[in-house]
Amino acid sequence: MSYDDGNVFAKILRGEIPCSKVYEDDHALAFHDISAQTPVHVLVIPKGPYVSLDDFTEKAPETLVAGFFRAVGETARRLGVVENGYRMLTNTGRDANQEVMHFHVHIFAGRPLGGMIKRG
């Protein structure tokens, strides 16, 4: 799938739509999910046109891949969720119900998160 820069996260990166920012550096932007599913629910997105994890790791330069994942860790530390724990998740494609076609990881935290995945 090719990248469509009309997606909502591309608009956030261009400053066309506001976000509740948690962290930003040259490689990534982290902001609160608009429809939080846990007490802490933050999204981290790379600054570049990548649809998914596989697209990102295939096409992005090494500095961006490394910088992005460092930004995910930095975001978790700034959120203060490291001690009690958190879950990082990325949805890719139809079977995972990916809604926004700009690569992003979710950070869930703030309560016990239960089993890793729903059965059925």
Beta-carbon count within 10 A of 47 CB: 17
Q: Contact between 88 and ligand AMP (CB under 6 A)?
A: no
Options 41, 102, 104, 106, the catalytic residue: 104
Residue closer to ligand AMP by CB (options 88, 100) is 100
- Identity of the residue numbered 41: H
Residue closer to ligand AMP by CB (options 100, 113) is 100
Residue closer to ligand AMP by CB (options 2, 97) is 97
Radius of gyration of the chain (CA): 14
Cα dihedral 65/86/39/75 (nearest 10)? -40
Q: Is 104 a catalytic residue?
A: yes
Q: Residue 120: enclosing H or E segment and its boundaries?
A: none
Q: Contact between 65 and ligand AMP (CB under 6 A)?
A: no
Shortest distance, position 34 Cβ to ligand AMP, whole Å = 4
Quick one: tokens of 48?
A: 């570049």
Whats the size of the chain, residue-wise? 120
Q: Contact between 2 and ligand AMP (CB under 6 A)?
A: no
Beta-carbon count within 10 A of 114 CB: 8
Q: Which of 6, 15, 16, 35 binds ligand AMP (CB under 6 A)?
A: 35
> Which of the residues are catalytic?
104
Query: Which residues form the interface with ligand AMP (CB under 6 A)?
Result: 8, 17, 19, 33-35, 43, 91, 97-100
